[in-house]
Amino acid sequence: MTEKIVGLDNPELNQETNDIWDRIAGPWDEDFGPDGNQHNAYITDPVTDRLLDLKQGETVLDIACGAGRYARRNIEGDHSTGTSRHTITSWDYLDATPDMGLSVRNQAEKQYFSERPIGMLLNACFEHGLVIDRLEEPVFPDEVENPRPTGWANFKLIPFSMACRLRRIAV
């Protein structure tokens, strides 16, 4: 079962996941707004800009981690070549069995999560000729605070996420 899920060979689970996201996407986008939240403003957008360092005419595959904000922000003057949706999820770090939960406060319905061991994710890239040539673990700047004591912006020495740049190597 794990191999099928990891291999994205589960059309029923894919469809259920897509149906859930179709139902929660509107409220999710309303909650984050067109410009995102603190995490987008101080973590994901700056690190993605640095790692991609996009030049006009370059091609990028948006793997749809989020609501498409980054793609929309960078698409001015260009066009999309197509969309394909595949979603598979799990919760336990070393177990790729699907699990559900809530991502944001006030979310009306649980969604599937896609938690995978980092080795599983990166090895799949390496097996297809990609290498990591840059890695960052960004944290919020000192001036950013969160009123909730456990908010990520209050943890200046614990990265919320890890970002890596993968490039195809010539063989």
**CB-based contact 70:62 (threshold 8 Å):** yes
- For 10-57, what is each residue's pLDDT tens digit? 788 888 888 888 888 887 777 777 778 888 889 988 998 898 888 877
Taking a C-beta distance cutoff of 8 angstroms, is the pair 144, 161 a contact? no
Tokens of residue 75, six digits = 């698409």
**Whether 120 contacts 92, CB under 8 Å:** no
Q: What is the mean pLDDT of the chain?
A: 76
pTM: 0.63
Provide the strand spans (E) within the chain: 100-101, 111-112, 130-136, 163-168
DSSP SS3 for 45: helix
